[in-house]
Structure 1
Amino acid sequence: MVDAASVRRRGSVTLCLVVALAWGGCTFGSGSADHGDGGADGHADGRLHRVVRVVDGDTVHVDWRGEDTTVRIIGIDTPESVSPSTPDECWGSRATRAAEGLLEGRRVAVVLDPSQGRRDVYGRLLAYLDIEGGQDFGEAMIRAGDAVEYTYDDPYARQAGYRSAERAARAADRGLWGACGGPDRPLKGP
């Protein structure tokens, strides 16, 4: 036979476990070696940061907590335009100008994705950028045909939306899809 006190104790233990798990889920990923940033919503610290400069269509510098931090945008790839040893790829300069048009003088939320590493092999912070007002920079670049969807190793949180944006840009021959060698290999076109 089960007594009432035993039921209450089990209920209390269950409640404590649920609260502990919920609390752990809310704070998971909130710390890092990169300045203790992170957050439950994926934002690095929940603040907006000034874009310092655009390197190219998929890499930017952001003033993050007083430091000039290089950010590589998760989920997109743009033609190369800054390599001193190789000529610009088709649409590279245009992709850079498109990124400048969207980001220069703006503030952005730096959004981390727990499914991706914190930094790439070059030490760049891996993140999405949400432009002040909520526009997803990566999706905007893909939708305009200034970038392609790019999955490095693992699927990422915004992958479905980015792939949908790419299908729309491709179908409309927007940007590099119409100008750079067709739909199969636009980054390697003329």
Structure 2
Amino acid sequence: MTLTGTWKRAKIPIARKIHLKSLMLANASKKLEKEKSERDTEKNRVLKETVPELNTSSLSIQELQSMCKKFHQMIDSVDAERYDVEVKVSKNAREIDNLTQKVLDLKGKFKRPTLRRVRVSADEMLGAIAETTYKTSMDLRSHLKSVKKEDEKEHKQVEVHDWRKNVEAMSGMEGRKKKFDTGAPPQ
């Protein structure tokens, strides 16, 4: 231990690091082969349990057809289950994404979009910098549209009529309303 209280790390030679890395890779490849053989044996065992061996040579045509129909029904049921599971998985994945987004929102961390690399020359970059400084220093009121205020008296001069007067003339029916009110048949 040194005076500052930190430990000095022992330096490992590069040859030793390479040797250790090769040993770890060899060990990992052995484990992968072992896992693959275990999966294959498990797959064969499950297939033997679930799928019995078929002897189709002694069956008649009707029996073979009924067996095919039975297999088709089994395939349809398995496909329906697979579809249901896929829908559940996709729904759960969407829900997980929404929840992680909510968690990130609560933490205040946001996903950054992937940025594309853009080639910009030095002149364009200087022009962009000069343009942004020019835009920020501009007077914002100079671009506003001027609006003239109208007198309030002009707005109040609108005539108000009684809507109950001349209803037939206003409706555009020109006396047809009377025919409906009296119950007279139309001509």
Higher Rg? 2
TM-score relative to the length of structure 1 = 0.24
Please state which structure has a larger fraction of its residues in strand. 1
Q: Whose RCO is larger (CA < 8 A, sep 6+)? A: 1
User: Could you say which structure has the higher helix fraction?
Assistant: 2
